[in-house]
Structures are given as C-alpha cells and as structure tokens.
Structure 1
Amino acid sequence: MLKSFDIYNQNNILKIIVAINLLLVGTGSLMYTDRLINKLESREEKYIQLYASGIAYLVDPNHTNSGDITFVTDQILKANHTIPAIYVDPSGAIAFNKNIDLPPNITSEEMEKFLRDKIVEMRKKHTPLTVEMGDGQRGLVYYTNSKLLRQLTYFPYALLAILMALGVLAYLAFSSSRRAEQNRVWVGLAKETAHQLGTPMSSLMAWVEYMRSDPGQFDESITDEIEKDVRRLETITARFSSIGSIPTLKDENIKDVVEQFTSYLARRISTKVKMSLTSQLPAGQTVKINKLLFEWVIENICKNAVDAMKGVGELRLNILALPNHEIAIDISDTGKGIPKTSMQKVFTPGFSTKKRGWGLGLALAKRIVEEYHNGRLFVKSSEVGKGTTFRIILRADKEQKAVVEPQPSAKEA
C-alpha cells in the first residue's frame, strides 16, 4: 500500500547509499590492486637477485663468488614458490612436484593418481616444457598458472560484475524514487482537486435547499436529480481525498455494490449501450473493499468501455467465484478491442487512445485494486473489432464458500 513520505529526503538517502557503495568499491579495488602489485614486486626482486647470481657465476672464471653449480638447484628451484609444477623424468615417473596442494593423509598410490590427474589438467592449460638430459633423453615439466596470475586474470571481470550490480542497484533505486515522486504528484493533485471542489459543492447544496424551500416554484423531480448529482460530486471528492492515504476496508456485499453503482451509471451513459449484470455468487457473499474507491474502479473501466464502443453496443458485467476463496468480476464490451502491441500499455499513466484522454483512468483503477485491495486487474481477453474483457480478482470472505453451484441473477439496465 502507498504510504506518505518525503520523496526528497528519500532521494538524498539513495544518493548517499550509492555514493558510499561507490567509495567502498573504489577503495577495495585500490587496496586489492596494491596488494597484487606488492606481490609482483617481491617476485621480481627475487628473480633479479637470481639473475645477478647467474651473471656472477658466468663472469667469475674461478667461480670464487658463487661457489659451484649447486646454486642452480639451491636458488633457481627454490625461487619458484607460487607456480604449481610437476616434473616427469625420461622414464615417465613423477620425480617431484612443486606448489601442489596435496590432500592430507593420502597414501603413495593415492598421491600418484592425484598428481596424474593434475598433469592432465595442466596439459590442457599449457604445453609442457622439455628438459634435455642428453643421449636423446628428455624430461617434461608440467605447470599451470599461479594463484596470483589467476587473481589478476579474474580481477577485471569481478570488478566489472560488481560495477554492473551497483549500476543495476542504482537504476532500480532511482526508478523507484522517480515512481514515488510521480505518486507524490498524483496525491497532491488529487487532494488539491478535492479541496477545490469543496466550496462549489457547499454552494450547490445551499441552492438545493433553497429550491426545496419553495416547491411550488421549482419542479421537485429536477431538484431531486440535482441533489443526486451533488451527492455524486461529494462521492468523487471523497475519492480524491482518499488517494495517498491507507483506505479503510469493510465487508461489503460485492454483488449489491456493483449492482447499485451500475444502476446509477446506466442512467448517465448513452441509451444505445445495453448494460447487463449477472452473478454466480452465493447470497450475501462479502468482500473487504473500500466502497468509494472500488466504485471508482468500476466507473473507470465501464466509461472506457463505452468510449471504445463509441456509445453503441453491449456492456456486460459478470461476477463469479474462483478457487482459493477468490472473486472475479469480468467487464466485457463490444468495442474496437485492444491491439496486442498496446495490451501491456493500457495501464501505463499517460497512455490513451482518445484525443482528449489523460490516460489516468485505467492506471488509477489498477493502482486501487492492486495496492489498496491486494487484488489484480488485467486484460483477460481482447480482439480487435470485437471487444475487450477486463477482469478484477479479489479475495473473498474465507468463512463463506466461494465456489458454489451457479445462482444466476440478471439485471437489465
């Protein structure tokens, strides 16, 4: 349900949340990147030290500074502490492995199988390096990317995913904010309209009382009709006043509510439109509704139907029970129908096929049904040139049986 709130304060809160998230993502990215850079610097420093040792060995003819060739095994082999590697000797046996996370407490047979499986995986990633042993014999070094390289590989994608998620979140937040701001405009317009109608209605009621005070001068039937229309204006004012507030829902006999209102409406639309009402509900079936607002829904749909028929045709209302304690009200016309391309747009504020239409009637009706009554309003069916059926679904009183044998009662207006 719609609640009153200050959309501008909410806008500020949303902006602050988005700004904080952007700051966190930016800070986290910088810290993570700095950590990777430090690791790479440390690795390069070790490699350059090894490079310097190799130069010292080559330029010193007596090898006094480097000792002997054992520095190769002592430093070069130990220098690799990040890249997973497995060395297979010329006989095909696994001689040793480096930086492989072995499962704990495994037997030698299990370790052999584990390493063989790793070799298969490594071969898919990189072509193994050949180690020439002389006499045509050669060993193979299998390897895969280090954890650091994998992090560098996936980091841009992870960052992109985070930014996209943040962008979607920001879009949804600001879209919600924009809709809420539109709601605020609607509420303000509705309440201002109700306020502006108050003064002329008071004046009209005074004139009605004046006409009743002298029945000989004024036709009483005309006075009665004027009074009905003034009462109608009061109802409309009450409806506008209800927009933006949580309405009070009461148990109402849904058939009686629809019947009374369509009876009133039938006398105020084209005489060339034939209205009919049928009901398949049990006697006294009640539904929790706000009568003033729900009548507004029926009025908006029926008036749209009359416009679609250009004042000539049939307007049929059928109330029926559905499973799961639901009530359906189908409103069908014989008008021009709705094209498939416009089926999803009819409830969009501002969409109208009429030259002088504001495109607010059906949007308001859907809002009243779905936000205030927790029901559903949709186009059940439509065919161009043949007509349209709108369906309203509401929750019925659970204490009554909603699905019964049809008990039709028809009313021609």
Structure 2
Amino acid sequence: MISETPNEKPRFKLHPVAILNSQRLRRSLMDTYDQKSFYKYVIGIILLILSIGSLFYTDKLVQELEEREEREVQLYAEGLRYVVNSPLDENFNVIYQVIEDAVNFYQIPAIYVDENNIPNPNKNIKFPVKISRQERERIIQERLEEMKLEHPPIPVEIGKGRSGKIYYSNSFLLTQLRYYPFLQLSVMLLIGYLAYLAFSSARKAEQNRVWVGLAKETAHQLGTPLSSLMAWVEYFRSDPSIDPSIAEEIEKDVIRLEMITTRFSNIGSVPTLRQEPLAVIVANFISYLERRVSSKVKFEVHNQLAEEQTALLNKNLFEWVIENICKNAVDAMGGIGEIHVTLQAPPRAKEIWIDIADTGKGMTKAQASKIFNPGFSTKKRGWGLGLTLAKRIIENYHAGKLFVKNSEVGKGTTFRIILNADIIEES
C-alpha cells in the first residue's frame, strides 16, 4: 500500500497483516529473552539459598565442636589439678592418660602456664625436627601470645594458694571447618561462573547460527523477485507508451533491494574490511538518506576528523548501521526534527567516535537498557531487529562498540559508535 501527501515523497505503508506478523515476531523474541532472564534469576536465588544454608549449618557445627574442645581442655585442667594435689597411684595414672589422650585426639594446641608465668608443659605444638632450646622457647612464647587472643584461659588450682592457667587454640580440624564454607562458596561461584560462560557461549553461538540462517534465507528469497523486477524494468523501457521515468524510479528501488540483499548475504561471512575515508562515506550516505526521508527532518554532519583520517570497515555493512540508527531517529521524531552526526577522534587514542543525536521523544533508562535486545522496540510496528543487527555488525565484524551515550525523555537520544583507527600525527 502507498501513502502520499502533498509536497511529500511517496511512501510505502505496511499492510495490517504484515504489521501484525512483525508484532508477533517481536513479542516472541522478547518472551524468549524474558524467559532466559527469569531462569537466570531462579538459578541465582537457588544458589543463594544453598549458600546461606551451608553457612548456617557449618557455623552450627563449628559452635558445637568449639564447645566440645573447651570441655576437653577443662577436663585436661582437672586432670592436671589432680596430678598436683593427689597421691599418684596406678588407677589415677590410667585416668589421667585417658584425659590426655582425648586432648591429643582432637589435636587441641594447649600450653600450661604455672604460677611463675612459665609456660610448661604443652600439648600439640609442632616444632621443627632439629631445633635449639632457645628457638623452642621462642616458638612456645609466640603461640602463647596467639592463644591469649583466641580464648580466655582456664584456671588450674594447684593448692596452697597457687594456681596456673591453660591457654589453648582451636584444633586444626575446627579451623578447617570454620573456613570450609568460604572455600565451598568460592568453588561454587567458580563453577557457576564457568557454567555461565559456557552457557552464554553456547547461546551466543546458537543465536549467531539463527541470525546467519535467517539472513541468508532472506537474501535467497529476495533473489527471485529481484530478477523478475529487473525483467519488468526492461519491459517498461521497451514500451513507448510508458513514461521512461517510471522505469528509472523502479530501477533505483531494485538497485536498493540488491544492496540490501548483499548486506544480508554478508551476515555470517567474514566481511572484507578496507581502510576507508570515514568522513566521506558518512557524508555521502547521509546525503543519500536525506532525500529518502521526510523533508521535515534536517540532517547536519559535523566532521572534526583530520582530512586523511581513515577507518578499517566494510562500507556496505557500515552504511547499514548508519541507516538503521537514523531511521529509528526519524521514527522517534515523528518525521519532524533534527539529526546531528558528529565525527571526532580523541587525542592520542586509536579510536574514532561517531555520535548520532536526534531531537526525538527519547527513552527511559529501562528502555535504553533493552534497546539492543532482539524484538524490543518503542514503535508499534517493526520487528525490533534493526539496532540488534547494527550492534552485531559494529562489535562482531568491526571490533568496535555501539551503545546509547545518553537519552532524555522529551529531548532526544544520542547513539555512539566507536571504531578502531590509526593515530594521525599532527604536523
């Protein structure tokens, strides 16, 4: 269907069925992305619950084991008190040996300090094989200072107003158990991160295969009607009763469709990149595009690049990106407004910045964060694929970046393209 108003170029209008199909496809793509986001949140919540549960359970075990070790040290203190204050007999030696073995079993480091503050004896303190007496005493003193910071001492009454103290620290098993949940969480996070990378890589590869298949199938399907249209152009030219300008205009559209077919064919293939004069390409394409949109849209190109500045790019694909962004801007402005294209190179940086700013309705932060998702669009019609393809072309094929630099509701939006470029030395 063709819509035409006075002083305006003829414009094709989509059939309602085509609009409905595009909306269905867009909703399908958005539903797919929403489902993936939902599953990611569910998995994240499950991991969080498991992690918190593991921390609480391990902390409970640590507290129970810590209390048991304290009871063992208290029992050891009672044994020492009986050793000092009771007559030695065979039965008591057996009982004391059992108490001492319990301390050794749990590998609880302990040091007894007598009334003169002399540390002797000690339990489960590890020393090097060959060590001098002075070095041994230094190690005991260092461990004693550490134990004083860990637990309050357990007093030992040895009679006649004298008393000693037992200092101790956590066993190696308890220390391991205390840090185990953090090690477990680290391993879980690492596994989760690797799984996420693998899933993202597989999903990206799958998406790329879908994009490539869709693009190549589209190019293939366009081939047959294009050949037929070219035949009709030749037929119109051969008929003297038909205005020659009609054939010329149809041929221009056919050439345009052939260029679009070439673009779709390049998707999935490694495009040929050449050093191109970026400012010339942008200026020429904006001039071409300006004649094919509403006359109430004003384009301005601000070139701040050096005259000889080039960029490594594929001309056809790059023009497609500019076209997608600018057409979205025209729609956002309702066919009335200004589009400013600014080209600049940061000093001493191997980059070129291309800012495309419009005076349209702008976007919220939530909309800007989703603008490159397949199927997302702020318009009622369209498939919501243009900006997605544009981002893939810039980032996958040109190793650059495409993002929303800023957007304000009611004032407009600015997209930024970053391309790699050689530094142009100033003379």
TM-score under structure 1 length normalisation: 0.74
Code of the aligned partner of 1:357:
G
SS across alignment from 1:318: strand
2:258 is aligned with 1:218: no
Which amino acid is the alignment partner of residue 168 of structure 2?
Y
Of 333, 339, 348, the match for 2:364: 339
CA distance in 1, matches of 2:183, 2:418: 45
C-alpha distance in structure 1 between counterparts of 2:182 and 2:409, whole Å: 49
1:4-403 paired onto structure 2 within 5 Å: 67=90, 69-71=92-94, 76-77=99-100, 80-81=103-104, 82-102=107-127, 108=133, 111-214=136-239, 216-323=240-347, 324-398=349-423, 400-401=424-425
Amino acid at match of 2:146: E
Q: Secondary structure at the match of 1:343?
A: helix
CA gap of 1:284–1:161, structure 2 versus 1, over 3 A, is closer
Counterpart amino acid of 1:138? S
What is the alpha-carbon distance in structure 2 between the residues aligned to residue 283 and residue 208 of structure 1? Answer: 41
AA partner of residue 278 (structure 2): I
Residue 369 of structure 1 deviates from its aligned partner by 0.9
Secondary structure of the residue that 1:158 maps to in structure 2?
helix
Task: For 2:181 and 2:353, locate their aligned partners in 1 and report how far apart those are by CA, in whole Å.
Answer: 53
Does the Cα contact within 8 Å between 1:84 and 1:143 map onto a contact in 2? yes
Amino acid at match of 2:317: L
Question: Shift in Å at residue 243 of structure 1?
Answer: 1.2
User: Could you tell me how far 1:156 is from its partner in structure 2?
Assistant: 4.0
Describe the shift of the 1:283–1:148 C-alpha distance in structure 2 as closer, same or farther (beyond 3 A): closer
Residues 386 and 90 of structure 1: is their aligned pair in 2 closer, same or farther, counting only changes over 3 Å?
Answer: same
Any idea what the Cα deviations from partners look like across 1:24-46, whole Å, max 9, x if unmatched?
Answer: xxxxxxxxxxxxxxxx9xxxxxx
Amino acid at match of 1:246: V
Unmatched 5+ residue regions in structure 2?
1-64, 66-71, 73-78, 80-87
Matched residue of 1:185: which SS? helix
* 8 Å Cα contact 1:288-1:397 kept in structure 2: no
Quote the sequence identity (%).
Answer: 59
Q: Which consecutive residues of structure 1, in runs of 5 or more, have no partner in the other structure?
A: 1-39, 41-46, 48-53, 55-62, 405-413
Determine helix, strand or coil for the equivalent of 2:345: strand
C-alpha change, 1:153 and 1:327, in structure 2 (3 Å) is closer
Distance 1:339 1:79 in 2: 68
Question: What amino acid does structure 1 have at the position aligned with 2:268?
Answer: G
User: 1:156, 1:328 → 2: CA distance?
Assistant: 48
Cα deviation for residue 94 of structure 1 reads 1.2
What is the root-mean-square deviation in Å for CA atoms of aligned residues? 2.8
> Compared with structure 1, are the counterparts of its residues 92 and 72 closer, same or farther at alpha carbon in structure 2 (3 Å cutoff)?
farther
TM-score by length of 2: 0.72
* Amino acid in structure 2 at the alignment position of 1:144: S
How many positions carry a matched residue from both structures? 340
Per the TM alignment, residue 194 of structure 1 is displaced from its structure 2 partner at its CA by 0.8
Give the aligned residue type for 1:370: E
CA drift at 1:69: 4.4
Which letter maps to 1:320? Q
Structure 1 pair 334–79 and aligned structure 2 pair: CA distance change class (3 A): closer
Structure 1 contact 346–352 (Cα < 8 Å) conserved:
yes
Which has more helix, going by share of residues? 2
Q: Report the CA distance shift for 1:205/1:397 in structure 2 as closer, same or farther (over 3 A).
A: farther
2:257 alignment partner, SS class:
helix
- For 1:161 and 1:370, the matched residues in 2 are separated by 32
How far does residue 103 in structure 1 lie from its aligned partner after superposition?
A: 6.0
* Pairwise CA distance, 1:320: 2.4
Cα distance in 1 between the residues matched to 2:242 and 2:301: 36
Q: Secondary structure at the match of 1:348?
A: coil
SS at match of 1:120: helix
Change (3 A) 1:276 1:152: closer
